Amino acid sequence: MQKSIRQSMAWLHSWTGLLLGWLLFVIFVLGSISYYKNDVTAWMQPELHQIEVNQEYALNSVFKYLSHEAPDAKTWFINLASDESATTRVFWQAKDGSFTSKLLDPNTAKDVQLSPTQGGDFFYNFHFQLFGVPIIIGRLLVSFAACIMLIAMISGIITHKKIFAEFFTLRTFKSQRSWLDFHNMVSVIALPFFLMIAFTGLAMFFYLYLPTGLQKFYPDNRFGFFDEIRTTQIEQPKNLTPKPSQMIPIEKIQSQIKKLWPNQPEIDSIQVIQPFTDQAKIVIKQKEDRTITLNSDQLTFSLTTGEILNDLRNQHPVAKLYGGIYGLHMAPFAGPILKLAFFFSGILGCLMIASGLLLWSVKRQIQNKAQRFHLGHYLVDRLNVATFVGLPTAIICYLYTNRLYTLSHPNSPNQEISVFFISWLIMLCIACISKKQSLWSIQLFIFIVLSALLPITSIIVLLYFDYIQSLHDYMQYIQFDVFIWLFCGLSLFLWKNISPIQKQVQKKMQSKYQPNHGQKL
């Protein structure tokens, strides 16, 4: 190890950053998109834009559906259709403990027929449990990556003793210096966000990698922990078994809700515990959540008498801290502007990781005195470009597949995910066979062309399938298309300016190692 702590931390920062940088980049890109996962799903399932949502009506119809389909279930969970998500998702737990899930039309309460796509959920699930590996392994790998990221960030802070002074230094298009300055700048801009997001992401999965506490204190049922941390436990007599009983009509509950919440806020979720028994109760949760501890307003009623019951949420400070790690990470409290800030902070995280990895590469390129082929450097260069440009290109191809295949083949198996991985692999292959000088320009060019044409392709397909008939209809898609063009524009800027940086590196290397320039060999 190095003699000074700062040098040791610099070493640790470089190597931990390199080791999991690519995985962290993927997690950050897909995690940032996940803030808009419902919007991505709505873009990929144009049928959703044609559903009118009336929550009162949706609640009535879903109650009728569940009373008919699952009257003897233990619990019903209902994610009620809203402006954000136009379908009602229900799942219920049968007496044998098995779960059934259905996606319903909020108006008819019939199984809804949508395009066979995972939409934004694919990005959301990928960012915390990866794909193609067992869920537990994926989550453990992501947790490990989050832990390494925390270590890399803290060691990075220790390394840069003048981190805030360096924040105001940006020497553009000057080889290694430019990457270092850019890396410092983007790291400092959203540093609290990066620390928060990595730590909360890590803490969420503590039950997977630190299970000893749960095994010791919950030997019979580890999941009892989750009930206890969320709700206050009331001692109930053990022989009190629920007896069959009729429930009061949901309209009576709705009229009570109107009295207690006169502003008629949007409802997020409903849970019915022990339906059609004398212990049946309903918990209704508001959509708007101004807390960071997932503690939005809720009401609990008895479904046999209609009386309002005590709030059973656990209000212990540690229980709020537990809710806080989820709340801060997923930001359900964020309004449009704050959500945008979270999204762009995530994008800054991607830029931080990318610039760090590029800095590593450029530094070693300059240090490679013999100018000989180095397999490690070759791989890092190729993986860098295949991740930083290849992944966004794969995302664009995923979206293209939706427009060009899924919408016209509603009954065929979903090919979007296959196309996502195949296109990513193609980008890696292109990177492997490209010359170093043209590596970035080729990849960026592919991304720019594809992303520039995507909104146009989308409009043509939507017009063809009659999903849009006027400018007003298109307004529901415009935000998404503007985002695509924004990133296309950023890539165009990078594409135009990537060659000055490469030339600077080349010049520096030549001046350093050519004796004519008066430099030592």
Cβ proximity of 417 and 118 under 8 Å: yes
Nearest distance, CB of residue 104 and another protein, angstroms: 34
For residue 72, give the 3-state DSSP assignment.
coil
Residue 229 binding another protein, by CB under 8 A? yes
How is residue 10 written in tokens? Answer: 């610099």
Write the burial class of residue 516 (CB in 10 Å: 0-12 exposed, 13-18 middle, 19+ buried): exposed
Closest CA to 398 of 127, 41, 47: 41
Nearer to another protein, 1 or 521 (CB): 1
Of residues 321 and 486, the one with the C-beta less far from another protein: 321
CA distances from 341 to 192, 345, 348, 490 (A): 13, 6, 10, 18
Segment interacting with another protein, rule: CB under 8 A, options 4-12, 51-59, 264-272, 395-403? 4-12
Q: Of the listed pieces 211-219, 265-273, 282-290, 452-460, which binds another protein according to CB under 8 A?
A: 211-219
Binder to another protein among 73, 214, 351, 383 (CB under 8 A)?
Answer: 214
Is residue 22 within 8 A of residue 387, CB to CB? The reply is: yes
Nearest distance from C-beta of residue 321 to another protein, angstroms: 7
369 touches another protein (CB under 8 A): no
Name the one range near another protein by CB under 8 A: 70-78, 79-87, 204-212, 235-243: 204-212
Which region among 88-96, 108-116, 173-181, 223-231 touches another protein (by CB under 8 A)? 223-231
Interacting span for another protein (CB under 8 A) from 224-232, 268-276, 366-374, 470-478: 224-232
Contact 65, 109 (CB under 8 A): yes
Which residues, numbered 133-172, are part of the site for another protein (CB under 8 A)? 147, 150-151, 154-155
**Smallest distance, another protein to C-beta of residue 114, A:** 38
Site string for another protein, 11-40 (x = CB under 8 A): xx----------------------------
CB of 236 to another protein, least distance (A): 17
Amino acid identity for residue 25 in this structure? F
Q: Rounded to the nearest whole angstrom, what is the least distance from the CB of residue 209 to another protein in the complex? A: 8
CB of 12 to another protein, least distance (A): 5
**What mask of x and - would describe binding to another protein in positions 295 to 334, judged by CB under 8 A?**
-------------------x-x-xx-xx------------
**Amino acid letter at 202?**
L
176 versus 295: smaller Cβ distance to another protein: 295
CB nearer to another protein: give 8 or 67: 8
The interface region with another protein, picked from 215-223, 234-242, 410-418, 424-432 by CB under 8 A, is 215-223
Among 77-85, 95-103, 199-207, 502-510, the segment contacting another protein (CB under 8 A): 199-207
User: 372: phi > 0 → left, psi -120 to 50 → alpha, else beta; which?
Assistant: beta
- Using only C-alpha atoms, what is the Rg of the chain? 27
Of 213-221, 331-339, 399-407, 428-436: span binding another protein (CB under 8 A): 213-221
Residues 336, 338, 344, CA angle at the centre, nearest 5°? 100
Strands (E), 430-485: none
Please tell me the distance from the alpha carbon of residue 430 to that of residue 390, in angstroms, as a whole number.
10
The C-alpha atoms of residue 132 and residue 350 are separated, in whole angstroms, by 23
Q: How far is the CB of 356 from another protein (least distance, A)?
A: 18
Q: Where are the alpha helices (DSSP H) in 284-374?
A: 317-330, 336-367
Q: Which amino acid is at 52?
A: E
Is residue 360 within 8 A of residue 173, CB to CB? The reply is: no
- Side by side, the strands of the sheet bearing 75-79 are 99-104, 88-93, 75-79, 267-273, 281-286, 298-302
Three-state DSSP class for residue 29: helix
231, two tokens: 């709700």
Strand locations in 18-144 (E): 75-79, 88-93, 99-104
Residues binding another protein: what is the number (CB under 8 A)? 34
Interaction between residue 228 and another protein (CB under 8 A): yes
Closest CA to 24 of 284, 354, 277: 354
Shortest Å, Cβ 225 to another protein: 5
Residue 382 Cβ, how far from another protein at the closest point, in Å?
A: 25
User: Nearer to another protein by C-beta: 163 or 229?
Assistant: 229
Query: Tokens at residue 209, please?
Result: 């990698």
Which residues bind to another protein, rule: CB under 8 A? 1-3, 5, 8-9, 11-12, 147, 150-151, 154-155, 199, 202-203, 206-207, 210, 212-214, 216-218, 225, 228-229, 314, 316, 318-319, 321-322
